[in-house]
């Protein structure tokens, strides 16, 4: 009886170790990034996540952004004066072009699949994720990296860098309940 119990214990321990080693949660993931991942800025005013994210997206494409343009300069060009106002997808796309004339962005009134987001990152550009919260309105963040386990690296111009699961970001389980709804990309 002791021998059977000992064999059963060994089998259970081996099974546990085997499951633990092959569990994807424990596996080390390799990260894939946009071309440039430094030099991101926080938003200068409370409603300027859109223009900060536009600037940060322009940075991912080239090593030098048009440094004479600040967030305030771009807001003045787009809005006609320096107003602490939110921006539309169209205005955000226009801001990207002002920060970096070589950037041509597109926007989509829908979220991109994780597969498509990875393709955009693999091409060297970030994706601005337009987030929505029924209580607080909209917010823009920049997706600039992902790993093989479904996690993403996002730069929130209000809070700084964030790592979370794509599905949690999509479904509003991070960023104070904001869920991913629309996209701007290269």
Distance CA 79, CA 21 (A): 55
List all residues 6 or more positions away from 15 whose beta carbon is below 8 Å from its beta carbon: none
Q: Whole domain around residue 36: which residue ranges?
A: 28-185
Q: Residue 91: inside a domain, yes or no?
A: yes
Q: Are 180 and 133 in contact (CB under 8 A)?
A: no
Most confident among 7-16, 94-103, 109-118 (mean pLDDT):
109-118
* Residue 104 within any structural domain of the chain: yes
pLDDT tens for each residue of 166-178: 999 999 998 889 9
Q: Look up residue 114 and give its two tokens.
A: 């994780």
Q: For 41-66, how does the pLDDT look when each residue is reduced to its tens digit (9 = 90+)?
A: 999 999 999 999 999 998 887 655 55
CATH code assigned at 34: 3.90.70.10
Reported as a pLDDT band with limits 50, 70 and 90, residue 123 is confident
| Total domains present in the chain | 1
More confident residue, 101 or 179: 179
Count of CB atoms situated within 10 Å of the CB of 113:
11
Is residue 3 situated within a structural domain? no
Element (H, E) at 128: strand 127-133
Position 59 scores a pLDDT of 82
Q: For position 100, what pLDDT does the model report?
A: 82
Residue 127 lies in a domain: yes
Residue 9 in any domain: the answer is no
* Residue 65 in domain: yes
Share of the chain above pLDDT 90, in %: 57
List C-alpha distances in Å: 120 to 32, 35, 103.
11, 11, 14
pLDDT single digits (tens) 1-26: 555 545 544 444 444 444 443 334 44
Q: DSSP assignment, residue 129?
A: E
Nearest to 173 by CA among 133, 137, 128, 145: 133
Q: Flag the least confident range among 123-127, 144-148, 164-168.
A: 123-127
Own/partner pairs, 77-84, CB within 8 angstroms, 24+ separation = 78/51, 84/45, 84/46, 84/47, 84/48
Domain annotation covers residue 16: no
The predicted pLDDT at position 60 comes to 80
- pLDDT for the residue 31: 87
> Is residue 115's pLDDT more than 90?
yes
Classify residue 20: in a domain, yes or no: no
């Amino acid at each position: 009886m002791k021998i059977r119990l000992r064999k059963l214990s060994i089998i259970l321990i081996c099974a546990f170790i085997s499951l633990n080693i092959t569990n994807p949660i424990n596996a080390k993931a390799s990260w894939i990034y946009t071309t440039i991942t430094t030099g991101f800025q926080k938003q200068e005013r409370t409603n300027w996540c859109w223009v900060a994210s536009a600037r940060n997206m322009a940075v991912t494409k080239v090593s030098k952004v048009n440094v004479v343009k600040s967030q305030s300069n771009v807001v003045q060009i787009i809005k006609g004066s320096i107003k602490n106002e939110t921006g539309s997808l169209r205005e955000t796309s226009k801001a990207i072009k002002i920060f970096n004339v070589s950037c041509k962005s597109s926007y989509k009134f829908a979220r991109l699949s994780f597969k498509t987001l990875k393709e955009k990152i693999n091409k060297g550009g970030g994706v601005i994720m337009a987030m929505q919260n029924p209580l607080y309105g909209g917010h823009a963040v920049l997706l600039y990296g992902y790993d093989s386990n479904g996690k993403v690296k996002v730069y929130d111009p209000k809070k700084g860098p964030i790592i979370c699961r794509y599905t949690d970001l999509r479904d509003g389980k991070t960023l104070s309940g904001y869920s991913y709804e629309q996209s701007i990309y290269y």
